[in-house]
Structure 1
Amino acid sequence: MTDTAPYEPHHQDLGSRLNWLRAGVLGANDGIVSTAGLVVGVAGATDSRETLLTAGLAGLLAGSLSMAAGEYVSVSTQRDAEKAAIDLEKRELREQPEEELAELTSLLQSRGLSADLARDAAEQLTARDALRAHARVELNIDPDALTNPWHAAWASFIAFTVGALLPLLAIILPPQSWRLPVTVVSVLLALALTGWGSARLGTAPPGPAVWRTMGGGALAMGVTYLVGTLLGAVGG
């Protein structure tokens, strides 16, 4: 009888992929909440579809470009730090190989290997590729998979834009009397979906995440609508 264990994929970059996916979900959530707050606030002050469209597009572009720029700077800093750590490791391997071998042995021992086995494993890893061994074991960095700031920037730009399009379309497409109800319902449903997705990615119970995202979005729309209504009344 053949043992048929379920297939479980193992990818070295699985954690990285999950991080990117989680960042995409959070970027979309930011796009939904910030744009919804903006257009609902403007809707409290004016009924002009042109004004709503202008404000929504301006918010979408400003938000998506800001997200992309921020992510590019952040990931570039991370990549520079990773490259600097790898360069330092190269120099240490070149100038003090015995000390580095002892350090790798100690690190492997701290992960549960016996002294003899850790020494043997360290020697084999060093003989195969010393830099890669130290980068992965000591620095927790894969030299072949350094973070790419352009990928991060584009991912943030797209995620924010996709999220922001929902409240923008919901506020300008329906007739005037339906704008706010359609926008509020659409936004809350979308936030429930992003809350559920972020919870599933983090293997957490979806209920609290869903209520948090919906509550935050509802609060943002309520506050901005109130402010917009007050400003519209003062301006009128």
Structure 2
Amino acid sequence: MPKDYSDLLQNIILGGQDGLVHALGLSIGMAGATSSRELVLVAGVAAMLSESISMGAVAYTTARTAAKFDKKSRLDAEFSQKDASLLLAAGKRAGISEKKLSLVGGLLAKNGSEGHAQPLKRAALVWFSTMFGSFIPLSPYLLTGVERALPISLLLAFATLLVTGIFRAKETGEKWVLSGLEMVLAGGLATAAGYAIGSLLNVAV
């Protein structure tokens, strides 16, 4: 898998899964505490906005750090290339075959070949993915009341997680069953925790 595509897929899954699971857990918790879909939506939208901004900021700072490390590695590689040139010249004088020298030179040339991370692009991608993921479990509450929206929200969320897991498996070579179940399990744990907290709040009120 090309590195650029791998990074793209990783960021989409990171933001999308985080947003979906976070919004799902919160909406389930709110649905357990209130029958007002307006309250569920207000809490869900607030969480969607704050979580997407937070995830975007984390992605940006992480990418910035990676870019700085990458820059340092490439600078180090430039110095090492000078040593490599001297080494190859010495090997040539020693009578080492051109084929072997070419092989060694090719391996050395790979140092520092990775490109810079793109902080703004990565942050925007994670931000959008988090927003989109958050919208999925919240969307049914725009159309109907809590009692009907709740099972639809669960179905949409877990179907999305399952499909995402299967797609990830296709791209990474994992077993699709395990990958899909892993994604669903993560969402299920967050949902159970959110509902339990919402139930406790309902009892407290």
Q: Give the TM-score normalised by structure 1.
A: 0.75
Q: What letter matches 2:34 in structure 1?
A: T
Structure 1 residue 212 displacement after superposition: 1.6
Correspondence for 1:53 among 33, 38, 41? 41
How far apart are the structure 1 equivalents of 2:52 and 2:76? 36
Instruction: Determine the structure 1 residue equivalent to 2:59.
Output: 71
Q: What letter matches 1:63 in structure 2?
A: E
**Corresponding position: 1:101 with 2:85:** yes
Correspondence for 1:36 among 3, 24, 43? 24
Q: Across the two proteins, how many residue pairs are aligned to each other? A: 199
How far apart are the structure 2 equivalents of 1:22 and 1:90? 30
Q: What letter matches 2:110 in structure 1?
A: V
Instruction: Determine the structure 1 residue equivalent to 2:71.
Output: 83
Percent identity, aligned pairs only?
24
Runs of at least 5 residues in structure 1 that lack an aligned partner in the other structure:
1-12, 106-113, 126-132
How far apart are the structure 2 equivalents of 1:14 and 1:205? 20
> Deviation per CA, 1:32-82, whole angstroms, max 9, x where unpaired?
111100111011111122211111011111111111111111111111111
Higher helix share: 2
Q: What letter matches 2:111 in structure 1?
A: E
- Aligned residues of 2:12 and 2:125 also touching (Cα < 8 A): yes
Structure 1 residue 104 displacement after superposition: 7.0
How far apart are the structure 1 equivalents of 2:87 and 2:178? 44
How far apart are the structure 1 equivalents of 2:8 and 2:73? 23
RMSD between aligned residues: 2.4
Structure 1 residue 164 displacement after superposition: 0.6
How far apart are the structure 2 equivalents of 1:146 and 1:118? 31
How far apart are the structure 2 equivalents of 1:28 and 1:82? 26
How far apart are the structure 2 equivalents of 1:121 and 1:227? 61
Q: What letter matches 2:84 in structure 1?
A: E
User: Residues 156, 87 of structure 1: CA spacing in aligned structure 2 closer, same or farther, 3 A cutoff?
Assistant: same
How far apart are the structure 2 equivalents of 1:220 and 1:193? 18
